[in-house]
Amino acid sequence: MSDELKPVTLDMILEKIAAYQPNADINKIVRAYEFAANAHRGQERVSGEPYIVHPMHVAYILTTLHLDDETICAAFLHDVVEDTDTTIDDIRREFGDDVAFLVQVVTKPKSHAPGQADRAKQENNFRQLLDSMRRDIRAVLIKLADRLHNMRSLGSMQPVKQMKIAGETDFFYAPFANRLGLNNLRRELENLSFRFRCPERYERLRHALEIDRAEQADRLDRLTARIRRLLSEEGIEVRTEVRYRLPYSIDRSMRGTGRDVAHVEHRYVVRVIYDRARLTPLLESAPDKTICLRIYGILTDAFSEKA
């Protein structure tokens, strides 16, 4: 996605939190950021960026899921025990038991088994995450956000590392997100994994979808304009979005149906989003189900199934 690696600032994170949790402990969040920034001072990611960029992105991803202030604090701090001299006791003294628990769960346990250290370490990490779900789902959400940003920035890694991380993502993290109902996160993890596991096929499909999007643009503009007009005439003001499926999803359909990309059905969807504040007085207090059925009825009356 074009904005997946856009710069993230502390002010952006605080603004997002304030929008959905007005009573959040902003001072504590700022202290957690400053603590992490000091702990990671001088460290860099493989891309050459200051390391603190990564926990900031993880925290920002979690604000899109409307996580609480303690989870955001843990997001800033999630790598300090693993990558610096900071201990869990340090975190507990500064930020309390709740934040310390979350950081401890997402910290990979150390493994000393020669020859199998990496695999044992990852297996222990998976086991620790699964076990944590019984006590606090927030730790899993931090780990999924951590993996999402790592996948978004995977291009700076060596190809061997890319394949390993992409394989783990496809095998464990994307299905995990799916089980939790985090569909947007799951789709992005699947697609990013596909991008690095099958780069040539991914690029061919991405290019084909770009061509299809350009060819369909005028027709879709007319379609969405008509949808908005039909609903406006009935007192329902909406906005529309055309969302194309990602290459991974198209690839699955192609393999399942034996069709080429031009003949895969439902390559895109049109989303119709209404604003309750702009509804007519007869509908503004109606349940969402009633409004959606009304929109569905208007559109199915206007468009035949073949259209």
DSSP state string for 38-100: HHTTT-B-TTSSBTTHHHHHHHHHHHHTT--HHHHHHHHHTTHHHHSS--HHHHHHHH-HHHH
Three-state SS for 267? coil
Structure tokens at 98: 């709740």
305 is annotated as an active-site residue? no
Give 281's contacts (C-beta < 8 A, 6+ positions apart): none
The whole-number pLDDT of residue 2 equals 40
The predicted model gives 201-210 an average pLDDT of: 96
- Residue 155 in contact with residue 48, Cβ under 8 Å? no
pTM for the model: 0.86
Question: Contact, 69 vs 81, CB < 8 A?
Answer: no
**171-193: pLDDT as tens digits:** 999 999 999 999 999 999 999 99
Given the residues 82, 123, 275, 284, select the one marked as catalytic. Answer: 82
Rounded CA-CA distance 142/105 in Å is: 10
pLDDT tens digit string along 217-252?
A: 999 999 999 999 999 999 899 999 999 999 999 999
Question: Is 70 in the active site?
Answer: no
Q: Which of 5-9, 76-80, 293-297 has the highest mean pLDDT?
A: 76-80
Give the confidence band of 6 by pLDDT, cuts at 50, 70, 90. Answer: confident
Neighbours of 2 (CB within 10 A): 5
Closest CA to 41 of 56, 52, 25: 52
> What DSSP string runs through 226-247?
HHHHHHHHTTEEEEEEEEEPPH
If pLDDT is split at 50, 70 and 90, which confidence band does 305 have?
Answer: low
Structure-token pair, residue 180: 């939790």
Is the pLDDT at 120 greater than 80? The verdict is no
Residue 12 has which token pair?
Answer: 């952006």
Give the per-residue pLDDT at 108: 77
pLDDT, tens digit (0-9, with 9 covering 90-100), for 81-116: 999 999 999 999 999 999 999 999 888 766 555 555
How far apart (Å, rounded) are the C-alpha atoms in residues 156 and 194?
16
> What is the distance between the alpha carbons of residues 224 and 235, in angstroms, rounded to a whole number?
17
Which of helix, strand or coil describes residue 145? helix
Catalytic residue among 15, 44, 49, 83: 83
Residue 1 has pLDDT above 90, yes or no: no
